[in-house]
């Protein structure tokens, strides 16, 4: 695999006149729904550009969680009292909401988990051993978050299988050809991110899934960075499993979703054992509940599910297409301004304004002579919140030729003025660090 770093050429200037949201997108009204955006940091207005790590929460989510706690909270399961029924109904209604949002054929295919990491671990631990044996192969890609790499490393080590890594092209993209070149008669699982958390690259999941399934391989998709930015239809994607986290899509932390094909979930044994996932228990034998309950041991994140449903409903009402269009303008503006910062190198060059967008609203960069943590610390003094480090993607960072990078990531509530503040802050970093 090549280790040549990727730099972004100036090929994606923002379209003329694209300096404010399109008609029908009321940015001021959107921002007013996020109380935390009124925060001041070091005496400056907060410019929150760490959305790929966690997004802020609109009032609809705050209100839903508070209402759950204050009027209908109880444990769910066997209880028949009024509060327990309300809580159970709210949680199952949330399952319906998630199913609609993902285009899932059945609510029974929606498993509530703590987040993307737990979802992928569940698949690797429960589905993996049934599919992968000695001499078999699992394919993942060079841009994966550790959560979609380490579980497959362990599975392959335990099963005597081989983990194969699909390389990136010179623009930081996973291509159909790269995955096709690795597919073989022993390929059992293909696991890939829908959107890279470092480069923002959008992978051609549907095309890769079609190839993989024709070869008899199951397809697992890390959708953590895709769900906030792209309209997801799991049926159209053709994958077998899809995972995402609530906190990355304007919802609470500690809640996430694994979607899986009903026939695959039905054949998978439980991963965690305990209350809530059994039908009957004796001293000699236990029978397990059908999916999705089979994979939801213990007391669930009831308020988390309610808050996640509120977030998805809120985002759907706002309109994913309108949000995506505005985020593309933010990304294009950021690309234009950051390329003017002396000594700054953007990572990845996939386009945001092509006929088919290849990049979500994420931009990562390195600044010559400055450590990413120092960059982020100085930006914080300017009120600009960004991410710094290896972004839980150390192999990718090594391929990019840098141990760490600074990342700015955008959401529906960000403004062009905040992008300008990021650029001004980086010029300030240059002044301070020389």
- Residues annotated as catalytic (active site), given as ranges: 392
Q: 292 preceded by cis ω (within 30°)?
A: yes
In the structure encoding, which two tokens stand for residue 377, read together? 């610390």
Phi/psi of residue 273, nearest 5 degrees: -120, 145
Q: Where are the beta strands (DSSP E) in 194-309?
A: 218-222, 241-245, 256-260, 278-281, 286-288
In the structure encoding, which two tokens stand for residue 54, read together? 């966690």
Cβ(251)–Cβ(307) below 8 Å = yes
Instruction: Describe the chain by its helix, strand, coil percentages, rounded to 5.
Output: 40, 20, 40
**End-to-end Cα distance, the chain:** 34
How do beta strands 218-222 and 241-245 pair? Answer: parallel
- Measured CA to CA, the distance from residue 208 to residue 202 in angstroms comes to 12
Cα 86–chain centre separation:
30
How do beta strands 187-193 and 137-141 pair? Answer: parallel
In the structure encoding, which two tokens stand for residue 334, read together? 């950021």
Cβ(403)–Cβ(371) below 8 Å = no
Q: 138 preceded by cis ω (within 30°)?
A: no
Work out the angle at residue 258's Cα, subtended by the Cα atoms of residues 213 and 274, and round it to the nearest 5 degrees. Answer: 125
Name the packing angle between helices 59-67 and 302-318 (round to 10°). Answer: 150
- Measured CA to CA, the distance from residue 363 to residue 349 in angstroms comes to 10
């Amino acid at each position: 695999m090549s280790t040549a770093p990727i730099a972004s050429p100036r090929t994606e200037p923002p379209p003329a006149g694209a300096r404010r949201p399109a008609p029908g997108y009321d940015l001021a009204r959107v921002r007013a729904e996020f109380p935390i955006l009124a925060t001041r940091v070091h005496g400056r207005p907060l410019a929150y550009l760490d959305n790929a790590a966690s997004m802020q929460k609109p009032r609809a989510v705050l209100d839903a969680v508070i209402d759950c706690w204050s009027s209908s909270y109880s444990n769910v399961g066997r209880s028949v009292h009024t509060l327990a029924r309300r809580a159970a109904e709210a949680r199952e209604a949330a399952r319906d909401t998630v199913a609609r949002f993902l285009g899932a054929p059945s609510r029974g295919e929606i498993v509530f988990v703590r987040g993307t990491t737990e979802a992928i671990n569940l698949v690797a631990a429960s589905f993996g051993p049934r599919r992968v044996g000695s001499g078999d192969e699992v394919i993942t890609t060079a841009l994966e978050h550790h959560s979609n790499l380490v579980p497959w490393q362990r599975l392959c080590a335990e099963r005597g299988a081989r983990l194969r890594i699909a390389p990136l092209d010179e623009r930081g993209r996973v291509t159909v050809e790269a995955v096709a070149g690795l597919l073989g008669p022993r390929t059992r699982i293909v696991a890939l991110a829908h959107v890279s958390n470092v480069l923002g690259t959008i992978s051609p999941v549907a095309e890769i899934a079609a190839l993989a399934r024709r070869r008899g391989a199951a397809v697992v998709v890390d959708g953590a960075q895709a769900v906030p930015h792209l309209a997801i239809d799991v049926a159209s994607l053709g994958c077998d499993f899809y995972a995402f986290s609530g906190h990355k899509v304007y919802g609470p932390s500690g809640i996430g979703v694994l979607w899986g094909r009903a026939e695959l979930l039905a054949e998978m044994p439980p991963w965690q054992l305990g209350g809530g996932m059994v039908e009957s228990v004796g001293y000699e034998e236990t029978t397990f509940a059908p999916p999705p309950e089979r994979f939801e041991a213990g007391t669930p994140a009831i308020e988390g599910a309610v808050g996640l449903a509120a977030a998805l409903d809120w985002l759907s009402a706002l309109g994913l297409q309108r949000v995506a269009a505005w985020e593309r303008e933010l990304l294009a503006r950021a690309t234009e301004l950051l390329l003017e910062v002396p000594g700054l190198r953007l990572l990845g060059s996939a386009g945001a304004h092509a006929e088919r967008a290849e990049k979500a609203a994420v931009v990562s960069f390195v600044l010559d002579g400055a450590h990413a943590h120092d960059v982020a610390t100085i930006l914080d003094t300017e009120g600009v919140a960004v991410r710094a480090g290896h972004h839980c993607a150390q192999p990718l960072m090594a391929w990019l030729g840098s141990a760490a990078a600074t990342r700015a990531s955008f959401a529906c509530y960000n403004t062009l003025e905040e992008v300008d503040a990021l650029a001004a802050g980086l010029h300030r970093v240059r002044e301070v660090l020389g």
